[in-house]
């Protein structure tokens, strides 16, 4: 397990190195002064620019420049936003939790719906139910997310007026930001309307989370289905059948647990996909997450924010991957034998 962990950390280290190299080089490729792109100090006087250049070792070789860039990152200094003048780190920390919240809820919805349906399809293998489930999941997987999001707004917000179309919570509730995760902040707040705020936040998250969840849910359906099929064909299931256990007993006692192991592993792999889907959804639902913020930054040519946002978002996805890998390895001893990250 130790070697496995070390290998993963090693992989993390080098990937991060490549990532920082990429963001560092981006500052040269963007139009304008490199040092300004890197720090976001667009209103600085020539003297201030000279000071910043000194701070970033601009007069030294490129290697040193890169090194001082890394040092700044390690100190949590990603520069300031060219448009809002707020430190990028602060922006990231205030927007990332909303994305985490959305993706987590979406992941939960995808798992709760996708996995049981997949198991059901496997149990009813090659029957009508199986075919219907496969067809529906194929359609669900193929729908472009932006279209689905707009459709969902049209039906559930505009036509039926059941669910809100934008934002994280109604503005009538004032919730102080403590952790950034809105649901936790609501529970921590001393607002007398806490409970209503909680409900309001719940109905706000429902539509975007379901939209984000659809594609991963269909993936889970197919994963759960094939994993369950594999388990059902294994020898110990056959042995259990031979012992005369009922189908229910076999499935609930033996099959589900073993089939789950394989599914869990792919949950982590789905995460990058989920964040990408969330970015598009955030824009359409005006969700105050990091994806929405990053896309706005691209619109506004906020180069510092683009670099910082990319770095933060990709390292976040990477960290989640490594965590799921570690959890999987902890659960499944066989996996520890696989030395290289996937």
Partner 1 sequence: MTLTSAGQLGFQAFIALLSVLLWGCDSYKVDSLSEKSLIYCSEGSPEIFNPQLVTSGVTVDATSKQLYNQLIAFDANTNEVIPSIAKSWHVTQDNKKITFYLRKNVAFHHTRYFKPTRFLNADDVLFSFNRILDPTQIFHDVSGGKYPFFDSVAFADVIDSIERINDYTIRFNLKRADSSFLANLATDFSVILSREYAELLIRSNKLEDIDTLPIGTGPFKFKEYRTGSYIRYEPHTAYWEGQSHLQQLIFDITPSNTGRLTKLLAGECDVIGYPIAHQEITKNPQLTLEDVTAFNIGYLGFNTTKPPFNDKRVRRAVAHAIDKQAILDTVYLGDSKAESANSILPPSSWAYAKDTQSVEHSPEKAKELLQQAGISKKFTIDLWAMPVQRAYNPNALTMAKLIQADLQKIGITVNIVSYNWQEFLRRLALGEHQAVLLGWSADHPDPDNFFTPLLSCGSAETGNNRTFWCNQKFERLLAAALNITDLAQRKALYREAQKIAAEELPLFPIAHSKRFQARKKSVQGDILHPFGGISFGRVEKQ
Rounded CA-CA distance 149/165 in Å is 10
Question: Which has the closest alpha carbon to 83: 313, 288, 287, 299?
Answer: 299
One of 137, 165, 297, 324 touching partner 1 (CB under 8 A)? 165
Rounded CA-CA distance 91/80 in Å is 9
Question: Which has the closest alpha carbon to 16: 63, 64, 79, 69?
Answer: 69
Binding status of residue 84 toward partner 1 by CB under 8 A: yes
Residues forming beta bridges with residue 87, ordered by sequence position: 80
- Give residues 225-254 in contact with partner 1 (rule: CB under 8 A): none
SS3 state of residue 302: coil
Binding status of residue 300 toward partner 1 by CB under 8 A: no
Sign of dihedral through CA atoms 82, 87, 89, 92? negative
H-only helix segments in 124-144: 128-142
Give the Å distances, CA to CA, from 26 to 13, 314, 330. Answer: 20, 15, 38
Binding status of residue 177 toward partner 1 by CB under 8 A: no
Residue (136 or 155) nearer to partner 1, CB: 155
Q: Minimum distance between the CB of residue 43 and partner 1, rounded to whole angstroms?
A: 15
Residue (114 or 291) nearer to partner 1, CB: 291
Binding to partner 1 by CB under 8 A, coded x per residue (else -) over 191-220, reads -xx-xx--x---------------------
Residues near 140 by beta carbon (within 8 Å), at least 6 away in sequence: 214, 215, 217, 218
Q: Could you tell me which stretch among 100-108, 163-171, 317-325, 332-340 binds partner 1 (CB under 8 A)?
A: 163-171
Count of residues touching partner 1 (by CB under 8 A):
21
Residue (176 or 257) nearer to partner 1, CB: 176
Rounded CA-CA distance 137/36 in Å is 48
Rounded CA-CA distance 26/248 in Å is 58
Residue (148 or 251) nearer to partner 1, CB: 148
Binding status of residue 161 toward partner 1 by CB under 8 A: yes
Q: Minimum distance between the CB of residue 128 and partner 1, rounded to whole angstroms?
A: 31
Residue (145 or 251) nearer to partner 1, CB: 145
H-only helix segments in 159-289: 182-188, 194-232, 235-243, 247-249, 256-284
Q: Could you tell me which stretch among 71-79, 158-166, 240-248, 323-331 binds partner 1 (CB under 8 A)?
A: 158-166
Residue (148 or 219) nearer to partner 1, CB: 148
Q: Minimum distance between the CB of residue 273 and partner 1, rounded to whole angstroms?
A: 27
Say if residue 127 is exposed, middle or buried (CB neighbours under 10 Å; 0-12, 13-18, 19+).
exposed
SS3 state of residue 37: helix
Q: Minimum distance between the CB of residue 161 and partner 1, rounded to whole angstroms?
A: 6
Binding status of residue 60 toward partner 1 by CB under 8 A: no
Residue (34 or 165) nearer to partner 1, CB: 165
One of 118, 164, 216, 308 touching partner 1 (CB under 8 A)? 164
Cα three-residue angle 113-116-122, rounded to 5 degrees: 135
Q: Minimum distance between the CB of residue 174 and partner 1, rounded to whole angstroms?
A: 7
Residues near 181 by beta carbon (within 8 Å), at least 6 away in sequence: 97, 100, 101
Q: Could you tell me which stretch among 8-16, 155-163, 312-320, 322-330 binds partner 1 (CB under 8 A)?
A: 155-163
Tokens 């969840």, residue located:
213
One of 10, 112, 286, 301 touching partner 1 (CB under 8 A)? 286
Q: Minimum distance between the CB of residue 316 and partner 1, rounded to whole angstroms?
A: 24
The residue ranges that bind partner 1 (CB under 8 A) are 84, 153, 157-158, 161, 163-167, 170-174, 192-193, 195-196, 199, 286
């Amino acid at each position: 397990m130790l070697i496995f962990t070390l290998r993963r950390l090693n992989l993390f280290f080098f990937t991060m190195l490549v990532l920082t190299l990429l963001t560092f080089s981006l500052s040269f490729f963007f139009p304008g002064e490199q040092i300004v792109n890197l720090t976001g100090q667009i209103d600085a006087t020539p003297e201030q620019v000279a000071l910043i250049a000194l701070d970033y070792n601009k007069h030294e070789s490129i290697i040193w420049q890169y090194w001082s860039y890394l040092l700044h990152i390690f100190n949590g200094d990603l520069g300031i936003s060219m448009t809002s003048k707020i430190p990028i780190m602060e922006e990231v920390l205030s927007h990332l939790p909303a994305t985490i919240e959305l993706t987590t809820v979406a992941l939960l919805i995808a798992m709760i719906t996708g996995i049981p349906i997949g198991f059901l399809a496997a149990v009813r293998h090659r029957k009508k139910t199986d075919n219907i489930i496969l067809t529906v999941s194929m359609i669900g997987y193929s729908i472009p997310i932006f279209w689905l999001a707009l459709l969902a707004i049209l039906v559930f917000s505009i036509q039926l007026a059941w669910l809100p179309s934008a934002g994280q919570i109604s503005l009538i509730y004032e919730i102080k930001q403590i952790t950034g995760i809105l649901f936790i902040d609501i529970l921590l707040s001393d607002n007398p309307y806490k409970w209503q705020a909680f409900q309001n936040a719940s109905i706000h998250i429902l539509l975007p989370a379901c939209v984000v969840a659809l594609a991963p849910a269909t993936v889970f359906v197919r994963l759960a289905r094939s994993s369950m099929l594999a388990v059902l064909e294994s020898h110990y299931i056959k042995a259990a059948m031979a012992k005369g256990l009922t189908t229910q007993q076999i499935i609930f006692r033996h099959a589900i647990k073993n089939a789950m192991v394989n599914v869990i592993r792919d949950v982590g792999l789905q995460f990058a996909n989920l964040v990408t889907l969330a970015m598009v959804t955030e824009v359409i639902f005006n969700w105050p997450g990091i994806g929405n913020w990053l896309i706005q930054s691209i619109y506004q040519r906020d180069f510092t924010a683009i670099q910082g946002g990319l770095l933060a978002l990709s390292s976040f996805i990477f960290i989640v991957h490594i965590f799921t890998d570690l959890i999987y390895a902890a659960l499944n001893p066989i996996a520890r034998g696989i030395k290289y990250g996937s």
